[in-house]
Amino acid sequence: MEERPAEHATAVAPPPARDGSGGPPPSPGEPAIWSRNFRYYFVARSAGLLSWAMLPVAVAAGLLIDGYGLGAAGYAMAFLVAPFAGLVLFGGVLADRFTARRMMIVADLANLTAHILLALLFLHGIDHLWQLYALLVVAGTANALFQPGASSTVPLVSRDVQGANGVLRTSEAITGLGGPALAGVLVGFGSTGWVMVISAVAYGASAVCLYVLRLGTVPAPPPGESLWSDLAVGWREFRARSWLWGVIVIWMFYAVLSWGPQLSVAAGVIVPEHGARSFGLINAALGAGTVIGGLLAIRYKPQRPLAAGAVAMLAYPLYPLGIVLGLPVWVLVVAQVAVGAGIGVWGVMWATSVQTQVPGEMLNRIHAYEVAGSVGMYPIGSALAGPAVGAFGTDRVLLIGVVVSFLTATALLAARPIRTLRRVPDRR
């Protein structure tokens, strides 16, 4: 079920323990999901997700309204995303060395500061773009420090890890829908700065909620090791689990050839034919489907979670295939609901598997490798969308995405370590 190198026992065990918050862990008598710790963590995570969802829309729209071109908006997104992609691995190492909770609080405080300054910048007018870009670098770096702990904290705050992931996935989908909409409305009223104020308040609330968590002792790597040594140990542990790196390798192809290009290619077909409102409705349906998938995954607990998640991912080709076939908007909406449900189920099964199969002292680093290897490939696929359409045509690019997404689910099911990985029972 879990592959670990033989030398792990002497190299890493027994890990020293650190105090995560100065208090005892949750009592076994508390609810399996909605324990005191999880309630605070849920508020913290939802607040951060809402702010992160609002930021790109607010910045891009605010720049365009202030008279800056698409080039400035594109550079802004690059300065936001690049630090996250480049530093998330080090975020995992630092979270293991200093505890994820501390790094998440530091990240929230950095985001709080950056968003206050962004609010002042937009309220008083942007005189120099480099000031905006520098603050976006701070925000991207802060999220790189926060992200590894966002995964590793879940097993510490809830006895029902899969149920907790289902709740968090649902929250992620809702904030992903509501955040851009709220930001768009506020920017439309000329209030880009107030979007940043709301985000700053949200990050402050997140920091407070994380501060009051009672996590008890948290596993730690051996003292005296260098940053690079910790990173190398994390890589060895990542590589030692064939089910883990197998999923990431498969996902890298999927991100570049299917997931990455789809949004912009689909927009290029749907917006001219059906209008921007229809395209917005179709993408809202994806979020609604993700909510459904998250809710389903709270209760549905298969013995082989990755196999069940892979079956759910078989819904993904429905949407791009519907575009190629020229199906009406309402059918595409239904297809996106199914796609979202599949993605929601897969996301919960995958997150739960990583969080329950990987030792606590390694989880932050391994999650960082996971994010860097899978999500990090999405921008490449997105960047290749335009040249690919120019070379092969829209329908062929979408059909390639259909085939690759089907092969992704098939490969996940065909790989024995992935297909046969069994669920770890909930803590009692």
Task: Specify the pLDDT at position 217.
Answer: 64
Closest CA to 139 of 66, 254, 51: 51
**Band of pLDDT at residue 428, cut at 50, 70 and 90:** low
Task: Specify the pLDDT at position 260.
Answer: 82
**Band of pLDDT at residue 226, cut at 50, 70 and 90:** low
pLDDT single digits (tens) 348-397? 999 999 989 988 778 778 877 887 777 777 777 877 888 888 899 999 99
Task: Specify the pLDDT at position 63.
Answer: 80
Task: Specify the pLDDT at position 85.
Answer: 73
**Band of pLDDT at residue 248, cut at 50, 70 and 90:** very high
**Band of pLDDT at residue 205, cut at 50, 70 and 90:** very high
Query: Which carries the bigger pLDDT value, residue 51 or residue 8?
Result: 51
Query: Which carries the bigger pLDDT value, residue 228 or residue 381?
Result: 381
Q: How far apart are CA 39 and CA 30, in angstroms?
A: 12
| pLDDT (average), residues 219-231 | 65
**Band of pLDDT at residue 11, cut at 50, 70 and 90:** very low
Q: Is the pLDDT of residue 25 over 80?
A: no
DSSP state of 49: H
Task: Specify the pLDDT at position 3.
Answer: 38
Task: Specify the pLDDT at position 178.
Answer: 84
Contact 296, 313 (CB under 8 A): no
Both tokens assigned to 63: 């720049």
**Band of pLDDT at residue 329, cut at 50, 70 and 90:** very high
pTM over 0.75: yes
Q: How far apart are CA 205 and CA 253, in angstroms?
A: 38
DSSP state of 410: H
| Lowest-confidence pick of 53-62, 101-110, 404-413 | 53-62
Q: How far apart are CA 118 and CA 272, in angstroms?
A: 34
Q: How many CB atoms lie within 10 A of CB 375?
A: 17
| pLDDT (average), residues 45-74 | 81
Percentage of the residues of the chain whose pLDDT score is greater than 70: 89
Both tokens assigned to 243: 């089910």
Query: Which carries the bigger pLDDT value, residue 113 or residue 238?
Result: 113
Q: How far apart are CA 371 and CA 146, in angstroms?
A: 12
Task: Specify the pLDDT at position 187.
Answer: 78
Burial of 6 (0-12, 13-18, 19+ CB in 10 A): exposed
Phi, psi (deg, nearest 5) at residue 189 = -90, 10
Task: Specify the pLDDT at position 222.
Answer: 59
Peptide bond into 25 cis (omega under 30): no
Q: Which CATH superfamily is domain 239-419 in?
A: MFS general substrate transporter like domains (1.20.1250.20)
Query: Which carries the bigger pLDDT value, residue 217 or residue 61?
Result: 61
Contact 364, 95 (CB under 8 A): yes
Task: Specify the pLDDT at position 220.
Answer: 60
Task: Specify the pLDDT at position 259.
Answer: 87
Task: Specify the pLDDT at position 427.
Answer: 64
Burial of 421 (0-12, 13-18, 19+ CB in 10 A): buried
The pLDDT mean for the chain works out to 84
Considering 164-178, 219-233, 268-282, 324-338, the range whose residues carry the highest mean pLDDT is: 324-338
DSSP state of 314: G
Task: Specify the pLDDT at position 188.
Answer: 75
How many Å separate Cα 405 from the centre of its chain? Answer: 19
Q: Is the dihedral of CA 110, 294, 37, 370 positive or negative?
A: negative
Task: Specify the pLDDT at position 2.
Answer: 37
Instruction: For residue 148, give Cα distances in angstroms to 57, 80, 254, 343.
Output: 24, 17, 22, 21
Radius of gyration of the chain (CA): 21
Q: Is the pLDDT of residue 79 over 60?
A: yes
Both tokens assigned to 320: 């791009």
Contact 298, 164 (CB under 8 A): no
| pLDDT (average), residues 97-120 | 92
pLDDT single digits (tens) 123-142? 888 878 889 999 999 999 99
Task: Specify the pLDDT at position 353.
Answer: 94
**Band of pLDDT at residue 14, cut at 50, 70 and 90:** very low
Instruction: Mark residue 99 as left, alpha or beta (left: phi above 0; alpha: psi -120 to 50; beta: remaining).
Output: left
Q: Report domain extents, the chain.
A: 15-220, 239-419
Both tokens assigned to 213: 């968590």
Q: How far apart are CA 44 and CA 100, in angstroms?
A: 14
Q: How far apart are CA 261 and CA 144, in angstroms?
A: 24
Q: Identical fold at 15-220 and 239-419?
A: yes
Task: Specify the pLDDT at position 74.
Answer: 66
Percentage of the residues of the chain whose pLDDT score is greater than 90: 45
Q: Is the pLDDT of residue 190 over 80?
A: no
**Taking the domain 15-220, which CATH number applies?**
1.20.1250.20
